[in-house]
Structure 1
């Protein structure tokens, strides 16, 4: 193993941790659940934007999207670019609602709109999603990337599977310690530092990648990329592609709005804002990050198409490229960024797991049984759950490599079981006043049952994102019908229990328009009228 790479990696990683320790060392806000899980509602827009962006940019994205580009084309970019619209809708409509009711978790709205039972059901669905999908895949994706950069299997003389197991163990233990000891504020401060590293690392990968491709000439590398393998440059997926462009307007939009506006581990940073304006600015800053994200998530995959035409393990496209083209000091930086991105997502998932369990399940259970919900006891048992989840994820995650259909395919299909059902009842709850709690429970049961059947029992000959959109409409119709037949006696009124100032950001609409125009420009650039023509 190259000593310079290792030292560079350790320097960036330790520097981020030291900055976090320095900033949070005098804070006494972690003695309560709100202080630990929401950073005492004190986050500014830099922390919110950096943390939301880096939490999304996990090792799963580095590995999965570059692998998709290598094997297919740039159509996977649609997930990130279409999320721009979803994020701005969340900033404009959902965040004011969450902060107005003083929400600690996104299911808190469901408790007020429907009933506590619905809140608990959705909290359990979230937790299942984190156990099965989020936390294990983050560990696995990070292990694949780190092994590809440092060649741990060759260095230690062990099998590839054993190397993945070892790295998963290290990342899991470090992440759990960081989360249990630091809380949300420590995580977000580290994310600001890692976000700066990510911008530098992404720029270096593109620069050195083009230079390597052009035999020392960057512009020759750009020319080579733009004239050969043009099928890989197209982000407008056809009807027979793995990700058709039409899915942007159906299931993909639903999944993105859910992810950025209802997924607890993502929204938690915005819920921790000091006011609504900072929350909206923070989300807009994260959007800027998404517009630059293809530098890390997609362009390396395009360069790998030219350099490695016959990769046996396509999931190694990104780490192999980094290992081959960058100077050692920048390899260490990128490895630290990948490691930091994985830790950010892993920690956010663990933090949200503790929040949902403690505030929505454990605390109400204590109160129902006449026990005192002591804040120290709540924190202690929430942390114990986080440790247990980490142990299970460490055991399970290496086996994801045997999933048929590719890593990214695994991520998206599994996450859909948990996302759109919750999105559906949230939307109906927001748009109606008399749909009863029964409709929410029936809607969740119907959606999950039918979607499971379409994926495992019979084939509708439809893309799964289109199936999600159809089920969203059908489930919404069922809920509205129940609301018509058995409406609530009195219409729902959104309570006002704001814990922070909810005056919106005054100039937001101008910036929203600029960001949407840039989103459209990215699609035009990577299309037949653009460089794919």
Structure 2
């Protein structure tokens, strides 16, 4: 393994830790609000940067590019579809959360319903993080970093042992930021890493297109247009990862759940110094998510055109990174990289995409909640009281910028469709 790669990785990791320390060394971490919400002091750009990197994990960098390598650009629904959800959260959910002065989403459910609901949802969230969220992130991150650093060859171990070494490394480094610095340290490090990830992420497709086009990114893109134009289609069919029709059923619900109720995501917006900054951060993040396909899908398509169809899909992105990045930047990019339905699917094959099924289940569950509410209604009418935690004056540009974000999402879809360049 190249010593320059290791050196640049260590340098950038230590640099981000130092910057985070400088920005948070005077913070009061003794209170829950100071530790978990950064003293409610985050501004719009910090919230947006932290949201971007908190969401942008190796699960997406490796997994979505694997979809681009194997299928087409339909998987970008996970990214650009987030824009609609972020706008809706800024409009409807965040004002209610901040008015209630809550620290966690279960706190809101306790005030809205009761402590039993809070306990049930907390347990469900905990199991979801441990069993559903963390394993794929750690596995995909370990797969990529193990390949970039050649951990197997460096230590002379099996591929499985190399993965375990990398998983523990990722977990330990990520935990240090969170445990000793609280949310604000994580948010600051996320913002710095987010800048590096955005720059490095956009460099990969640019350099990949240069490699494909013998030095010209335009020629590289033209080769994709000539050889594999079908891969630039974002609409997709029912057998593709995310058919366009799911954007209005299960995909919208998944994104609303993720951006509006997932604690590790909403915690950033809950830490806003006021409603204006929180809404601004969410809308900025909505625009930034539109850049996602450029470094989350297209590199996979570039890898297909450079290396051919014989690669394991999960190896497409790390192989492209090693192929196109200068050696010192490989370590820097790796440092940014690291910082963090049974019946219908198995028994009864409906023939529907699983995201459509999710929408059907949502309607059924909502109907069940409505029936329960009629049979055993709450004794006292719920009123959301203003806890005076932050200034609730909304951002004056919320509506025009929110509409602009949604329109921009539709333009991106039209561009990568049979009526656009995929024709």
Task: Indicate the residue corresponding to 1:38 in structure 2.
Answer: 37
The yes-or-no answer on 1:497 pairing with 2:387 is yes
In structure 2, distance between residues paired with 1:44 and 1:263: 20
Which moves more between the two structures, 301-310 or 256-265?
301-310
Q: Which of the numbers 327, 330, 347 marks the counterpart of 1:457?
A: 347
C-alpha distance in 1, partners of 2:329/2:241? 33
Match of 1:473 among 363, 369, 386: 363
1:311: which partner in 2?
Answer: 310
**Is the counterpart of residue 22 in structure 1 residue 19 in structure 2?**
no
Matched residues in 2 for 1:333 and 1:488: separation?
55
CA distance in 2, matches of 1:483, 1:204: 53
Report the equivalent of 2:411: 521
Return closer, same or farther for 1:240/1:207 CA change in 2, 3 Å cut-off: closer
Compared CA separation, residues 156 and 490, structure 1 to 2 (3 A) = closer
The alignment of Structure 1 onto Structure 2 pairs a total of residues equal to: 423
Report the aligned-residue RMSD.
1.4
Shift of 1:107: 1.9
CA drift at 1:481: 2.1
Whole-Å separation in 2 of the counterparts to 1:262 and 1:498:
22
How far apart in 1 are the matches of 2:25 and 2:38? 13
Q: How does 1:58-97 map to 2 (within 5 A)?
A: 58-97=57-96
SS at match of 1:107: helix
Where in structure 2 are the equivalents of 1:177-256 lying within 5 Å? 177-256=176-255
Q: Deviations over 1:144-198 (max 9, x none)?
A: 1111212211232222111101111111122222221111111011111111111
| Residue 373 of structure 2 is aligned to residue 483 of structure 1 | yes
- Say whether the 8 Å CA contact 1:70–1:304 is kept in structure 2: yes
TM superposition shift of 1:297: 0.6
Q: CA separation in 1, counterparts of 2:4 and 2:294?
A: 24
TM-score (normalised: structure 1)? 0.77
Contact 1:311–1:317 (CA<8 Å) still a contact in 2?
A: no
Which residue does the alignment assign to 2:162?
163
C-alpha separation between the residues in 2 aligned to 1:12 and 1:483?
54
CA distance in 1, matches of 2:183, 2:29: 9
Distance apart, 1:304 and its partner CA: 0.6
What residue number does 2:171 align with? 172
- Whether the aligned pair in 1 keeps the contact of 2:79 and 2:289 (CA below 8 Å) is yes
Task: Determine the C-alpha separation between the residues in 1 that align with 2:200 and 2:371.
Answer: 53
- 8 Å contact kept, 1:94–1:261: yes
- Secondary structure of 1:203's match? helix
Contact 2:104–2:267 (CA<8 Å) still a contact in 1? yes
Q: Stretches of 4+ moved more than 6 A in 1?
A: none
